[in-house]
Amino acid sequence: MNKQSISNLQLGLLIIGFLLGTSIIMGGAPSTKRDSWIALIIGGTSGSFLLLFYYYFYQQFPKLNLFQYQRKILGPILGRLVNILYLWFFIHLASNTLAYFGGLMSSLYYQRTEPFILILFLMLTIIYATNLGIEVVARAGLIMIPVIPTLLLLVYVLLWKEYNFEFLLPIAENGIKPILNGALTILAFPYGELIAFCVIFPHLNKTKSSKKVVFISSLFVVIFGIILVIFDTAILNDAREMSLYPLNDVVRLINVLGFFERIDASVMLIWVISVFAKLSILAYSAIIGFADLFNQIDYRPFVIPTSAIILALSLFIFDDIIQMRDFAFKTWPYYALIFELLIPVLLFLIYLSIHRRRS
C-alpha cells in the first residue's frame, strides 16, 4: 500500500473537529455550574500541554505509530499486551461516541426512528471513509470541520440581546474543589482522548511547524469553548446545569424569539460533522491496532470487523442518555486517565531509562 499523508492544516482541523465532537453534545462538566469556564481554562490548557507530551513520542519515533513504538520501548510481549489495552480503549471510546450520537439524534430529531438505524448509517459512512484511508478523512475534514465554528458563532450572534453576564457571578461560589474536579473531567474528556492522534502523526507529510500547529489547534478549541460556555451560562443561567443538551436549548430559544424557524437543522449538521470527525479518528486508530496485532501491513481487511464491534458494543453499552452522562462525568475520567496519562508517563520514564543506559 502507498503511504498516505496529511498536511499540517488537515491535522489541525482534525484536532479541532475531534475535540468539538461529543464535548459539544455533553456540554461540559455539570458539577462546576457557573464556573465551567474556569474549569475549561485549567483542564483545556493542561490538555493542550498533554497533547505536546504525546507529540514528543512522535518526535522520537517519527515513522512509528502508537502501537509500534510501544512495542519498541516495552518489548514484543509487554508491548503487545499494552497495545491490546489501547485497542480496547479506542473501541470503547468509539462505542461511547456512537451511543451518544444515537441517543441525541433519536431524542431530539428522530423520535420515531430506532437509534440503531441512525448509528448504522453513520457507521457505514465511517466504514467507507476509513477504508479509503486517513488521507480521505483529512480531506473531508478540510471541507466540513470549518462549518462547525461558523454555525456555532451564527447561533450565539443571533442571541446577543439575551446575554446576562451577571449569571456568571459569584465566581467560585462553591469553592475550588468542584472547579478542579471539572478540570480533571475536561482533561480526560475530550483532551486526553487526543492520544488517538499518536496513530495519525506518522502520516504528516511535513513536520516543519507541525508542533506549533498541534498546540495552536488545541488552544483554539480551549478559547472557543470558553466563549461558548460563558455565552451558554449568560443565556441559560442555572438551567444549563440541568440541561442534557445546552446547545439545543439555546437554539430553541432562537426559534421562540422568531429569528429563524428551523435553525435547529443547522445544529444537527454540527452534531453530525463533529461526531463523524471524532469517530473516524477513533475507528481508524482501532483498525490500525488490529492490523498491528496481527502483523499485517494492509489495514483494510480489519475495517468492517472493527466497525462491526464498535456498532454492536454501542447498542448495549448504555440504557439511556442519563446513564451515558453519569458514566461520562463520574466514571470515565478516572478510567480514561489510565490510558491518557498514567501509561504514557510510565512509557516515558522507561524510554528515558533505556536511552540513558545506551548513552
> pLDDT digit string (tens) for 278-317?
999 999 999 999 999 999 999 999 999 999 999 999 999 9
Please report the pLDDT score of residue 340 as a whole number. 98
pLDDT digits over 263-276, tens only? 777 788 888 999 99
pLDDT at 205 over 80: yes
Please report the pLDDT score of residue 162 as a whole number. 86
Q: pLDDT averaged over the chain?
A: 91
Which residues share a beta bridge with 6?
Answer: 204
Please report the pLDDT score of residue 256 as a whole number. 54
Least confident of 25-34, 97-106, 108-117: 25-34
pLDDT at 45 over 70: yes
pLDDT at 124 over 60: yes
Contact 83, 71 (CB under 8 A): yes
Please report the pLDDT score of residue 147 as a whole number. 92
Q: How many residues does the chain have?
A: 359
Please report the pLDDT score of residue 355 as a whole number. 86
Least confident of 6-20, 93-107, 248-262: 248-262
Least confident of 29-33, 110-114, 323-327: 29-33
pLDDT at 3 over 80: no
Rounded Cα distance between 234 and 250, Å, is: 11
Please report the pLDDT score of residue 53 as a whole number. 98
**Amino acid type, 254:** I
Q: How far is CA 253 from the centre of its chain?
A: 27
Please report the pLDDT score of residue 268 as a whole number. 84
pLDDT digits over 323-347, tens only? 988 898 899 999 999 999 999 999 9
Contact 102, 116 (CB under 8 A): yes
Please report the pLDDT score of residue 255 as a whole number. 57
What pTM value is reported for the model?
0.94
pLDDT tier for residue 259 given thresholds of 50, 70 and 90:
low
- Pick from 87, 88, 90, 98: nearest CA to 21: 98
Confirm or reject CATH 1.25.40.340 for domain 8-344, answering yes or no.
no
Please report the pLDDT score of residue 257 as a whole number. 53
Rg value, the chain, Cα = 20
Rounded Cα distance between 180 and 165, Å, is: 23
Contact 217, 201 (CB under 8 A): no
